[in-house]
Amino acid sequence: MSAIKLGVPSKGRLMEQTFDWFAARGLTLRRTGSEREYAGAVEGAEAVELVLLSAGEIPRELAAGRIHLGVTGSDLVREKLADWQGQVADLAPMGFGHADLIIAVPACWEDVDTLEDLDAAAHAFRAAHGHRLRIATKYHRLLREFLAQEGVADWQSVDSQGATEGTVKNLTAEAVADITSSGETLRANHLKILSDGLIHQSQATLFAARAADWSGLAAPFSALCAQLGVPVPRL
């Protein structure tokens, strides 16, 4: 019989917390081999195979159907997968890996505290400088959808895969949209979060792939969902 392929983060705190979450529900996940080997094992459930991946790879593997289940941040799934609900089923928020995707502007912008203020500032910025206000981010889809919904215009996103908070100081952007847990890094870079600038509250989530081959796996999947305490989704 084929196995249910479960993709989990391959290292760090997110992997440890994922292992703890499953252990609390009677499943033992463990790495096998060295830290350089992406191999693992599962004990306590029928027909489940562990696949170790980076958190950023898991949305892609779910969408392609190469894994059946995956643990990753809800922000990554929403950012990387267009029409994400059509590609994956949200099985369970896991209660860890919390972070907020927010919009922040320079703390010295005393008159900019809301999205409405940002819209006015962006309009004034374009009139003064001849180009749109730049927002540095690696969450282009989520930022675009959010600001379109809120009616903010005259801005453009610039890609930042590194230290996004430093882009304002380095004069490569005027504002940022980034993940934060405590806000300390933002404050250290003299940035403030807009009062209504919360785009998404992210946390580690267990997802099921709609495109995966579930044939012959109905019984073990139902048993696994019962063990985990989650409803069996319609895939």
Percentage of the chain exceeding pLDDT 90: 84
142 in the same domain as 26: no
Instruction: Quick: pLDDT tens for 42-92.
Output: 888 889 999 999 999 999 999 999 999 999 999 999 999 999 999 999 999
Instruction: Quick: pLDDT tens for 1-53.
Output: 589 999 999 989 999 999 999 999 999 998 876 555 456 788 888 899 999 99
160 in the same domain as 109: yes
Q: How confident is the model at residue 223 (pLDDT cuts 50, 70, 90)?
A: very high
Domain for residue 176, yes or no?
Answer: yes
Angstrom distance (rounded) from CA 122 to CA 140? 18
Angstrom distance (rounded) from CA 212 to CA 214? 6
114 in the same domain as 180: yes
105 in the same domain as 18: no
Q: Domain with 111 in it: what CATH number?
A: 3.40.190.10
Domain for residue 173, yes or no?
Answer: yes
Domain for residue 233, yes or no?
Answer: no
179 in the same domain as 106: yes
Query: Hey, which residues does 39 pair with through a beta bridge?
Result: 32
Range of the domain at 196: 99-202
Average pLDDT of the residues in 144-164: 93
Average pLDDT of the residues in 155-171: 90
H/E element, 147: helix 140-150
192 in the same domain as 112: yes
191 in the same domain as 138: yes
104 in the same domain as 93: no
Q: Hey, is 192 helix, strand or coil? A: strand
